[in-house]
């Protein structure tokens, strides 16, 4: 009797980036999200499983709705792909939804948008309850100045000034659909929605926005920095602690919706 043909499935995964050494699989067995997820899926499928992700995240960066796809000939009910896999996962990562998708679906190449939220605390002393959950600055912030600077980022730009030296993207030109700020100077959420992002792009932008907020960089100087297309002129990369991948957009024909922000991530700030 012939073996069943492999089926492609998409998983929604959330994880605490502070517990892992980034997303990408490491040959030396170091704990990464990909290592943990592939081991758990392989245990349930009883065959080796490899996953493709919508986007790799660095050490310390979190995700509420990372999307991955994998192929497996194993036939398991949805409960097994969710609860069964979660039973094999370490603390700090969980699968919360699975969908069968067309065999042509690709979690990375079919993505038409990605969403990030950065949580930022501004206070003289960093709250231990927000450790690894929010970025922090001791400077008081001018949110209106930060909004003016953020508005300059919307549209198609060469983001070389906010690109990590080790970035492997073919082009520094990306499109940001929106950058919005919510909350108060004491707890601020900055939402980014774009077609794609360069390595460290959000963290580098946050470093510059914090400089604007505390008066170290004027809004016209921020505009000059974007136009300069030079990372050497930019402020330092900001900490990963407050960065969350919150959604990946796909064309409707794939049947993989973008989930709303979870309530615990302060969606109404």
List 16, 58, 142, 158, catalytic entry = 58
Cα–Cα distances in Å, from 203 out to 30, 37, 109, 269? 24, 26, 23, 20
| CA gap 184, 142 in Å, rounded | 10
| CA gap 32, 18 in Å, rounded | 10
Note the Cα 113 to chain centre separation in Å: 11
Buried b (16+ CB within 10 A) or exposed e, 207-230: bbbbbbbbeebebeebeebbeeee
Buried b (16+ CB within 10 A) or exposed e, 111-144: beebbbbbbbbbeeeeeeebeebbbbbeeebebe
| CA gap 222, 27 in Å, rounded | 40
Based on its alpha-carbon atoms, the radius of gyration of the chain, rounded to whole angstroms, reads: 19
Annotated binding residues for substrate: 116
| CA gap 241, 235 in Å, rounded | 18
Structure tokens at 52: 């493709």
| CA gap 239, 60 in Å, rounded | 9
Quickly list H helices, 152-237.
Answer: 201-213, 219-228
Residue 110 is among the residues annotated as catalytic for this protein: no
Catalytic residues: 58
């Amino acid at each position: 009797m012939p073996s069943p043909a492999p089926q492609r499935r998409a998983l929604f995964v959330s994880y605490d980036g502070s517990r892992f050494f980034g997303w990408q699989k490491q040959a030396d067995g170091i704990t990464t999200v990909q290592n943990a997820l592939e081991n758990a899926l392989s245990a349930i499928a009883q065959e080796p499983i490899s996953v493709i992700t919508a986007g790799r995240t660095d050490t310390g960066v979190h995700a509420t709705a990372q999307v991955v796809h994998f192929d497996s000939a194993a036939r398991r009910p949805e409960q097994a792909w969710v609860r069964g896999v979660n039973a094999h996962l370490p603390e700090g990562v969980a699968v919360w939804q699975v969908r069968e998708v067309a065999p042509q679906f690709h979690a990375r190449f079919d993505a038409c948008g990605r969403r990030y939220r950065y949580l930022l605390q501004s206070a003289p002393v960093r709250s231990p309850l927000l450790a690894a959950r929010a970025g922090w600055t001791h400077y008081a912030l001018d949110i209106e100045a930060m909004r003016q600077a953020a508005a300059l980022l919307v549209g198609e730009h060469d983001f070389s000034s906010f690109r990590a030296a080790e970035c492997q993207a073919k082009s520094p030109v990306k499109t940001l659909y929106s950058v919005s700020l919510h909350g108060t100077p004491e707890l601020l959420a900055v939402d980014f929605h774009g077609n794609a992002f360069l390595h460290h792009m959000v963290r580098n932008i946050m470093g510059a926005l914090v400089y604007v907020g505390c008066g170290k960089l004027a809004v016209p100087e921020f505009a000059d920095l974007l136009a300069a297309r030079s990372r050497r002129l930019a402020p330092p990369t900001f900490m990963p602690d407050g960065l969350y991948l919150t959604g990946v957009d796909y064309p409707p024909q794939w049947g993989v919706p973008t989930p709303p922000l979870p309530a615990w991530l302060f969606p109404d700030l």
